[in-house]
Structure 1
Amino acid sequence: MTELRSILDEAARQGLISPEAGGRLLPFLAERGVTVIEARPAMAAQEEQAWSDTETPRFVRGFHDVLITIGVVVALGGLWGLAALYAVLPAIIVLSEILVRRQRLALPAVSLTIALFCWTFLLMSFFFKPITSAFNGAEATQFVAGFPIILGAYYVRYRVPLALALCIMSALAFVLTLLLRLMQWASGDPQFFANHPVLLAVVCLVCALGLFATALYFDLGDRMRRTTRSDIAFWLHLGAAPALLFSVRLLISFDGNLLDVAQTVSIKTPIIVISVGVLMLIGLVIDRRAFVTSGLLSLGFAIYGIFRQGSATVDTYIFTTLIVVGAIVLVIGTGWMPLRRIVLRALPDAISQRLPPAVLGATP
Structure 2
Amino acid sequence: MYSESDIDGAVAAGAISPDAAAALRRHVASAHAAPAVDEEHFRLLTGFNDIFVSIAIALLLAALGQIGFRVTHALGGGLVAAAAWMLALYFTARRRMALPSILLLLAFVGGVAGALIGGIETIFPHIDGRAGGFAAAGVGLISAAAAYLHWRRFMVPITVAAGAAALVAVAAGLLMAAVPDIKQGIWPLVLLCGIAVFALAMRWDMSDTRRETRRADVAFWLHLAAAPMIAHPVFHMLGVFNGEANGEIGAGVAAIVLVLYLLFAGIALAIDRRALLVSSLVYVLYALYALFRSAGAVELGAAFTAFVIGSALLTLSAFWQPMRSMIVGWLSQPLRLKLPPVHQPA
Q: Does residue 62 in structure 1 map to residue 52 in structure 2?
A: no
* Aligned counterpart, 2:270: 285
Runs of 4+ in 1 over 6 A off after TM superposition: 6-9, 14-17, 36-39, 41-48
Matching residue within 173, 192, 201 for 1:177: 173
* Residue 253 of structure 2 corresponds to residue 266 of structure 1: no
Q: Deviations over 1:116-155 (max 9, x none)?
A: 34434533442457xxxxx953423422333212222222
CA pair 58-136 structure 1, distance change in 2 beyond 3 A: same
Report the AA paired with residue 233 of structure 1.
Answer: A
- For residues 141-180 of structure 1, what are the structure 2 equivalents within 5 Å? 141-143=134-136, 144-179=140-175
Q: Distance in 2 between matches of 1:122 and 1:344?
A: 44
One of 212, 218, 223 as aligned partner of 2:209: 223
| Matched residue, 2:115 | 123
Partners of 1:281 and 1:271 lie apart in 2 by 15
Aligned residue number for residue 114 of structure 1: 106
CA distance in 1, matches of 2:63, 2:11: 29
Instruction: Give the secondary-structure state (helix, strand or coil) at the position aligned to 1:263.
Output: coil
Distance 1:307-1:78 versus aligned 2 partners, 3 A rule: farther
1:137 is aligned, of 130, 149, 154, to 130
2:305 matched to which residue of 1? Answer: 321
Do the aligned partners of residues 9 and 335 (structure 1) sit closer, same or farther apart at CA in structure 2, a change above 3 Å counting? closer
Q: CA RMSD in A?
A: 3.7
How many residue pairs align between the two structures? 315
Q: Check if 1:354 corresponds to 2:346.
A: no
Distance in 1, Cα, partners of 2:67 & 2:195: 42
Supply the AA of the counterpart residue of 2:38. Answer: D
TM-score between the two structures when normalised by the length of structure 1: 0.73
Distance 1:203 1:289, change over 3 A: closer
Alpha-carbon distance between aligned partners in 1 of 2:23 and 2:96, rounded to the nearest angstrom: 33
CA displacement 1:18-54 (0-9 Å, x = unmatched): xxxx9xxxxxxxxxxxxx9899x99996688653231
- Provide, for residues 156-190 of structure 1, a one-character-per-residue CA deviation record: whole Å limited to 9, x for no partner: 221111112110122133124324544x3xxxxx5
Report the counterpart of residue 87 of structure 1 in structure 2.
79
- Residue 240 of structure 1 aligns with an amino acid whose one-letter code is A
1:203 aligns with 2:189: yes
| 1:132 corresponds to | none
Q: Is the 8 A contact 2:265 2:277 kept in 1?
A: yes
Q: Secondary structure at 2:241's aligned position in 1?
A: helix
Q: Distance in 2 between matches of 1:37 and 1:75?
A: 42
Per-residue deviation, 1:57: 1.7
Q: Tell me what 2:229 maps to.
A: 243
Gaps of at least 5 residues in structure 1 are 1-5, 23-35, 130-134, 185-189, 254-260
Q: Is the 8 A contact 1:208 1:247 kept in 2?
A: no
Per-residue deviation, 1:349: 1.6
Give, as a single letter, the amino acid of the residue that structure 1 aligns with 2:95: Q
TM-score by length of 2: 0.77
Alignment of 1:28-107 (within 5 A): 50-84=35-69, 85=76, 86-107=78-99
Displacement of 1:219:
0.9
Q: Deviations over 1:44-80 (max 9, x none)?
A: 9668865323112223333232332233223333444
Partner of 1:27: none
Q: Partner amino acid for 1:72?
A: I
Q: Give the secondary structure class of the aligned counterpart of 2:342.
A: coil
Name the CA shift for 1:37/1:126 in 2 (closer, same or farther; >3 Å). closer
Report the Cα distance in structure 2 between the residues aligned to 1:308 and 1:102, rounded to whole angstroms. 56
Greater alpha carbon shift after TM alignment, 145-154 vs 209-218: 145-154
Give the equivalent residue in structure 2 for 1:3.
none
